[in-house]
Amino acid sequence: MADSPELDVERTLVLLKPDALVRGLAGRIIQRFEDAALKIVGVKMRWMDAEFTRKHYFDLEERLGSEVYTMTAAFMQQGPVIALVIEGPDAVATVRKIVGATYPNEAAPGTIRGDFAHQSKASSKASGKAVANLVHASGNRDEAKYEVDLWFEPGELFEYRTLAETYIY
């Protein structure tokens, strides 16, 4: 019997944004990740002050302009967020698929944003408010590493085996 390839287990950051919390969707959103056999290895709740918001969105202003950064920062600072470190095979891509497209009106049904949010880029511009899309998920492996390290100390991340790992992986 041939050797099976090693699983590419990754960690990625997910933020449940203030709109997810005030709408009471945190549990339902977390369940989506657990239903996909992903594992939560870190969790905390915090307010993002201006300094921490700048660290998290360090390149947003450069990429999308000061107006987008200012709207996003104000949105993220209006209430607490829940930060999760999610682990599993190909976790970054899998989480992005579960979350759906950045603009909820473009997100497929069955994704978090497709099911629970419907704001468009046009409505965001018209209202002058950031897109309320419930969740932030790291965009790639490098971003995931940066964000996990920013949000969590090594001692805040946990190693354990889930039942899903026993049967699926």
Q: What are phi and psi of 10, to 5 degrees?
A: -125, 165
Query: Can 136 be counted among the known catalytic residues?
Result: yes
SS3 57: coil
Give Rg (Cα) of the chain: 16
Strand partners, 42: 85
- Number of residues in the chain: 169
Q: Which of 126, 123, 124, 100 is nearest to 113 (CA)?
A: 100
Q: Hey, what are 81's tokens? A: 């967020």
> Tokens 């200012």 map to which residue?
70
Show the tokens assigned to 139. 């965009």
Question: Of 136, 137, 148, 152, which is the active-site residue?
Answer: 136
Q: List the catalytic residues.
A: 136
